[in-house]
Amino acid sequence: MQVQALKSRIIKPGDDLLAVIDEVISIQLNGQLPDNSVLAISSKIVSYCQGRLVKKEKTQQKGFSSEEIKAEKHALVQKEAELFTKPYSSKYDMMLTIKASTLAVNAGIDESNASLNGEECFVLWPEKLQETINEVWQHLRQKYKLQNFGVIITDSRSFPLRWGVIGTAIAYCGFKALNNYIGQTDLFARKIQMVQVNVAEALGVAATFEMGEVKEATPVVLLTDLAKVQFVNHVPSQKELEDSKIALEDDVYSPLLTNVDWHKGAAYSEIISQGDIIHE
């Protein structure tokens, strides 16, 4: 697999996402997007283009205390999350959340590389993730006359029991998200019982690593030489999207996840089989 980070100009709130991506391809790839490739796009530039920025009302410069500053963010997390834990349950005053079938810290709300008219702000996760990525995929596939092509939207996330962040794919289009090896045999003829490889997540990790986390200004990454990616010529069906998700009680980590004191956030929608772990 080849992973190439692509520089962009500074993205401004309200910019046209498709125009931004086309501009990057024009300048960094000489207007050529290769077949049999996947384009990774940082969730942050999607959020910027959607105007998903919230100005901070409480800052040190305005004379607010650290507790007041934290409370502002915690309130915003509750609005953005489907499920959340109380901040006092973490020594870091952070909230574990579930949003868009993803376990995340603070509902993915970010403060790095975040500016709204020169003022400090919060960057929220993009809205309508699947609709957005479907539109990007269809636009690029048609414009560059591609047969086998995929797109992912990425973000950074922490990993339990390890310091540091890694990447994740919060949306995908144009390829099978899972490679299923159940029923195949290993080197010693043992039948595989459970193994599925999450292709979207694997690509998200590689892409986010190349994007960087500070001031690299490379929010788009091209991934090529993808021998194990199975491309498709349609946007993901509802069944395909659901097949890549897993309910809390079915997860291998369910002993941890189902014993969390979850509370409903404002973005709570119908979540299958949550049972009594949800609190008002």
pLDDT tens per residue across span 48-83: 999 999 999 999 889 999 999 999 999 999 999 999
pTM assigned to the model: 0.93
Q: Walk me through the domains of the chain, giving residue ranges and CATH numbers.
A: 1-50+127-236 (3.30.1330.100), 53-125+252-271 (no CATH)
User: Does pLDDT of 39 surpass 60?
Assistant: yes
Per residue in 76-129, pLDDT (tens digit) is 999 999 999 999 888 999 999 999 889 999 999 999 889 888 889 999 999 999
Q: Are 184 and 194 in contact (CB under 8 A)?
A: no
